[in-house]
Each structure stands twice: as C-alpha cells, then as structure tokens.
Amino acid sequence: MNRDCCDESDKTDKTKALNLARIVFKLTTDPRGWRVDRLIDELGIADRTYRDYRQTLKEQFEELKDKQRRTLIEEVKDGETRYLRLRDSEDSITDESVFVSRMTALEMARQAFGFLQNTDVGRDIETFRQDIFNRVGDRTYVYRSLTKNLDRKLYYLPHAPKDYSRQGQKLRTVLRGLIGSRVLSIAYDSPTNRLPRLVEPLTLIQWRSALYLVVRSREKKGIYIMAVDRMLEVKSTGQGFHYPPPEVYHPERFTEGGFGIFQQKDGVPTRVELVFANKRPLKLDLTERRWHDTQHTEELPDGRLRMTFTVRTLVEVRPWVRSYGADVEVITPVDLLAQDTNSDTTRKRAAAPRTRKQRNAETVPAPGSPLPDA
C-alpha cells in the first residue's frame, strides 16, 4: 500500500517537473509568453494546478529572478485573456548595447507617431522613454550622452500627417474599446449614413501618418474601415464582445487584396501588368520595395522592367501608376487609366516626369475616397 503511494507520488513529481520544464522553455523562447487557457489545455491541468506551478516558478526558480531576487514571472491580461510571461529584467537594461537598441527603437516609434504627440498616446511614449532612464539609476548621466542629439541622428520623414491634437477624447474612447473588447457607438462622416452605428473595434491601423479603425458591424456583421478623424462622435456602450479568432479575422488577410488600406466590397481579383522604362535608379527604387504581396518583377530583353501583381481594388493603384508619368506603360488592365483619356490636359500632366516627392504625395487617395458604410 505504501509502495503504491510512493509510486503515485513519484509519478506526480515527474509530471510536475516535466510540465515546469515545458513552461520555462516556452517563456524563455517566446517573448509574448503563453496564453494561460492554452497552457492549461496543452498540459491537461486544472486552473488550481496552474496556479501552483506559477507559484513554484516564482519562489523556487532562482534563474528566473533579477539581482534583487525579484521574480521575472508575471501574469498579465490582454482584455479578458491571461498570459504568463517573463518581464524584462531591470538588470539587462544597464547593458550599453541593450540600452542603445531600445532607445533607438523608442525614438523611431516616437517620431513615427509624432502626429499623436499632443494625445495620450504621444505623452505615454514620452513617459515610457523617461521610465527607461529612471530604471538605469545612477548610470543615467553616462547613458544620456549616448542619446544626445538622437532626434537628429535618427529622423523619420512623415507623410502628410493628420492632426489629432484636438481628438484626444475620441482617441481615448477608441483605444479603450479596442483594447478592452468593448462595443462602440460611432457616428461617422459618411455621405449616406451619419447616424450612430454599433461596431466592434478590431484593429487600429497606422497608414501614411493617419489612423484607421477596422470594425465589425453589430447589425450586418460586415467588416470595414473608418478613418478616426472622420468619426463625428464615439461613445462606449460598456458592452463586451468576443474578439474573433485568427481563422475568422486577421488584419493581414483583410488588407491583402488592396494596394494599401482601402478595400472594395466584393472586389474582383484584377491582374495588373506594368512595364517601366529602362532607367537604373527607377528600376532599383521599384525592385527594392515590396509594393504588394503578389508582386513579381522581371527584366525584359530590352532592359525595361515588367511588374505584375493582383488586387481587388484599383483605388490606390491608379494614382500610383500615374505618378510615374511617361516612365510606365500599362499592359493590363487596358482601361486602368481610362478616366484620364477624356482630358488632353490630364494626359499631358500624366506624361510629365515626377519627382519622388511628387510621386509619394500622389499615391494617397483624395479626401472622400470610398470607405464602406455599415
């Protein structure tokens, strides 16, 4: 009888040791951590057993503690979802190379989101920057010399940024609804419907220094895009919703049919074939960038460059093609620039060479470009 008890105890201890090893491996190889519900499911344990494992890791694993012997194990929440992960050790940030790379990443993020500088997001980025300095303690003076003139050593050139300085409350409501998975009531500046509609916020997209919210209609269940600055009124309903699983919705799949952020309901896949002039700087600029996931380029015998890709909407393709003027020939679709054929002035303007700055400015649809209505 006693021997059976010992055998059962040994089996339990071995299972626990193996499970703890799996958890440690996951936490040390994936910075996002392990979703608690998936951890429990994959290990086949109860929530109570999970809490016991978490406490064991915190108390007994010295390798998972910082120099002050504080555990690096933490459980965090993303909406209603719990994650077990390793927090950053404050010791690691005192390493010069780590500090420089983190400050570089933060400075680039600060500049990229500079159009939000007078909003909570912009202020929080600056607060986070100061928090990093505070964490290095008495070495602040040494590290500050490394970041001197950082705003000039690293420079982000924004693309016609929109001004959100007076939209702080609206942006706060959007973010709270998005992160907390709460239904929002939004009145939108639409030519067909300005009445408030109930939507589930799914993704906030930063595109060309502007913010767009991907939402799912509560009534029609359709997914579409709203420009944040064109929201007339945003209110939180306080009602939660279940965020769709990746197989149902993913922003990458949602935007894959376009040539940017703008989508077209029931758009038909259209193959675009273009031939660009035999100009080395032009060909380098085209081939060094990833314009579309389906993009394919090849050099023709005469030195010109053929590019093909397939999209579901030509809204952003047309201005992009026109920006290259006489340096591009449209093979298909033959009517890609048909809207220009009625105007000799427009044809002459399209044929005139553009600078890179002019091309960049022309690839953005004009205000009022179609955004699907709910």
Give me 15's structure tokens: 């299972």
- pLDDT tens digits, residue range 120-175? 777 777 777 777 666 655 555 556 666 667 778 777 777 778 888 888 888 889 98
Locus of tokens 């491996």: 25
What's residue 283's pLDDT? Answer: 94
Q: What is the mean pLDDT of residues 208-221?
A: 86
What's residue 91's pLDDT? Answer: 53
At 90, the amino acid letter reads: E
Query: What CATH number does domain 168-251 carry, 2.30.30, 1.10.3470, 1.10.260, 2.40.50?
Result: 2.30.30
Torsion on CA atoms 144, 146, 151, 156, rounded to nearest 10:
-140
Q: Is 72 exposed, middle or buried (0-12, 13-18, 19+ CB in 10 A)?
A: buried
Q: What percent of the chain stands above pLDDT 70?
A: 77
Locus of tokens 């990229």: 112
pLDDT confidence tier of residue 363, bands split at 50, 70 and 90: very low
Give me 128's structure tokens: 């986070």
Give Cβ neighbours of residue 126 (< 8 Å, ≥ 6 apart): 110
Give the CA count within 13 Å in the CB-facing half-sphere of 50.
18
Is 80 exceeded by the pLDDT of residue 180?
A: yes
Is 70 exceeded by the pLDDT of residue 355?
A: no
Q: What is the DSSP letter of 71?
A: B
- pLDDT tens digits, residue range 266-308? 778 899 999 999 999 999 999 998 888 889 999 999 999 999 9
Give me 173's structure tokens: 């409501």
The CATH fold assigned to 13-86 is Arc Repressor Mutant, subunit A (1.10.10)
Is 50 exceeded by the pLDDT of residue 185?
A: yes
Is 50 exceeded by the pLDDT of residue 28?
A: yes
Q: How far apart are CA 131 and CA 220, in angstroms?
A: 44
- pLDDT tens digits, residue range 235-269? 999 899 999 998 898 888 887 777 877 777 677 88
Cβ(109)–Cβ(103) under 8 Å? no
Q: What is the mean pLDDT of residues 109-120?
A: 75
220 vs 351 pLDDT, higher one:
220
Domain extents in the chain? 13-86, 92-153, 168-251, 270-362
What's residue 138's pLDDT? Answer: 52
pTM of the shown model: 0.58
Cβ(79)–Cβ(180) under 8 Å? yes
Give Cβ neighbours of residue 23 (< 8 Å, ≥ 6 apart): 34, 39, 43, 53, 57, 84
Q: Is the peptide bond before 333 cis (omega within 30 degrees of 0)?
A: yes
> What is the Cα 91 distance to its own chain's centre?
29
